[in-house]
Chains A and B, each alone.
Chain A
């Protein structure tokens, strides 16, 4: 087995219809998260809030190719993955506000989003903490003889945890249908990757293991789509796990309200160049599948949908205090 996949992007390039879908999803995530940031500052959204603004392309390109029966796991920066996997914006927003109508009845919040109906089995607040859970879901698919897969998103900060290596070892040993998607934004919380490890590329960390590994520009949506498509097809066919490293950039700090003094500000010009949404729109205009007025319409539609989601979430009551004890009871042995 080869240790690395040499992709031929042209063979798996997304169609214009797919790209328009991805752009729509990215705008929904962008609009949702910008609003979440504002609502956090207004103390309407609660908890530790980690935004993925600037990294929407990875979520959109990966999740667009999955089914409800596939299991997706994510970390603390999970809104984009959840929305891309199909969680309704209103119930997702309500969850961030701690409302009864939230995906998780307001019990989990931003770092613990779960939507079983859409195969989003969960975000976690412990960095790298649910990588092996994705292996477990993949094992279940394998035991039952289905072609379902499990996908876990994590940041480059998770790679230095022992659990990551334990999981890569097990995934390859058992040839599990699991796709490890690393969003390498170069920062683990406040600290640059170079201060935590001498290995720059996450795909190099797994080099000794027999799994395809590939690094792509995570802000180039089509590239992510194509690379993932190939790895996904292998996993569905029973050919085992793979690692996709997406080099991204987060425009915001580690969490909303962090001091953010640890990195240089991104210039507007630089950001215009990197922003995955703007890049896809430029590509769409150049290739002719995106009309000049479409981006504004997509953005407006996304913002309107978010407005409705916020109104719905605000109208949802807070859960009854007794709900917490009831959940301990229903999850236990009685």
Chain B
């Protein structure tokens, strides 16, 4: 059975389902009892009470540390960092404590926590409320990093994250929160580390993250009208990355575009490009193209933000480049 849910409602529904099933699951974060700015925790305090839906002060470092300690002591915290831009304040706790506890203790400690946050531009929120910082997180051994591109994945990947043995960071996208799609009822976990092929195509493989999956599908639709068949892969989990699915696709298409909203410079696309060229060098007929934002902070001014944001047009152009055609 499925039901039509927004991405935001899919998240609150999944958390509620987990809280009903496991008394150790609890939510903490800023404004969570009010549902947060995007309603992702709406309704939880009414059902589960303030002891399990805990409003916190604006103390990202301490609340992340509280989540780590609670997880080490057997609970399953679901921590919300309201904007990924603020994860900077919690990074010591996430990187030096959460990510390393299991390793440094020789496996004695486990940190089964979920850190939910959201990024992405497009809402005129300027440079401190719009970033895409997932690449930093993927650089830290010990963290699982998830980026759901739609409501069904937001539910399924979160359900899996809440039963994972170690810390999982789920980076949602604010522009996607109020898009609807059918979501399984009850929510079924989607295994972490498994990519989804969103569209089959023989000519070019596009690996797209988060919001860029929709942009890649839009580009693919346009290109199909011109006789170019694009295969769109959504890795869903950045760490661990399902490289096999990408490489298998590239062996058929011989061309690869990697697309994300984060700045291209030092972005996760570089890791995918490097890994694919290493695994399938002889299968590539063109250099790997990367689509990402320019190496700039995000401007407020609407025409400038629109110009900054990569989307379907940039993906289309990159696909044409891999085919040796002059982008139109």
Contact = CB atoms under 8 A, between A and B. Distances in A.
Contacts of A139: 66, 69-70, 75
B71 A136 contact: yes
Contact of A163 (B56, B62, B75, B144): B62
Contacts of A333: 144, 160-161, 164-166, 168, 192-193, 237, 240
A221 interface: no
A143 B71 CA distance: 12
Contact of B72 (A105, A121, A124): A121
A237 interface: no
B93 interface: yes
A103 B142 contact: no
Interface residues of B, number: 51
A163 B63 CA distance: 10
B59 A170 contact: yes
A138 B102 CA distance: 20
Contact of B103 (A116, A136, A137, A327): A327
Contact of B166 (A104, A169, A332): A332
A135 B104 CA distance: 20
B73 A108 contact: no
Contact of A105 (B56, B74, B106, B237): B106
Interface in B46-76: 51-52, 54, 56-57, 59, 61-75
Contacts of B144: 332-333
B142 A136 contact: no
Interface in A113-139: 114-116, 121-122, 124-126, 129-139
A323 to B, nearest CB: 8
A244 interface: no
B185 interface: no
A261 interface: no
A122 B77 CA distance: 19
Nearest to A106: B106
B92 A129 contact: yes
A210 to B, nearest CB: 15
Contacts of A170: 56-57, 59, 62-63, 66
Interface string B209-243: 00000000000000000000000000001001000
Nearest to A73: B69
A334 B240 contact: yes
A259 B168 CA distance: 42
A178 to B, nearest CB: 9
A103 B69 CA distance: 19
Nearest to A164: B62
A102 interface: yes
A122 B108 CA distance: 10
A114 B104 contact: yes
B167 to A, nearest CB: 8
A115 B105 CA distance: 8
A173 B58 CA distance: 13
B72 A137 contact: yes
Nearest to A161: B61
Interface string B172-208: 0000000000000000000011000000000000000
A328 interface: yes
B268 interface: no
B106 A137 contact: no
A126 B109 contact: no
Given A139-B70, A170-B66, 9 more contacts: A107-B106, A126-B97, A129-B92, A130-B65, A132-B61, A133-B68, A135-B69, A136-B66, A137-B70
30 contacts: A71-B73, A105-B107, A107-B103, A108-B106, A114-B106, A114-B108, A116-B109, A122-B72, A122-B105, A129-B65, A130-B69, A133-B66, A133-B72, A134-B69, A135-B66, A136-B66, A136-B67, A139-B69, A166-B57, A167-B62, A169-B57, A169-B62, A331-B103, A332-B165, A332-B240, A333-B161, A333-B164, A333-B168, A333-B237, A334-B192
Interface of A: 71, 73, 102-108, 112, 114-116, 121-122, 124-126, 129-141, 143-144, 150, 162-163, 166-167, 169-170, 173-174, 324, 327-328, 330-334
Which 10 A-B pairs give the minimum distances between C-beta atoms?
A136-B69, A132-B65, A331-B102, A105-B106, A133-B69, A166-B62, A140-B73, A104-B106, A136-B70, A114-B105
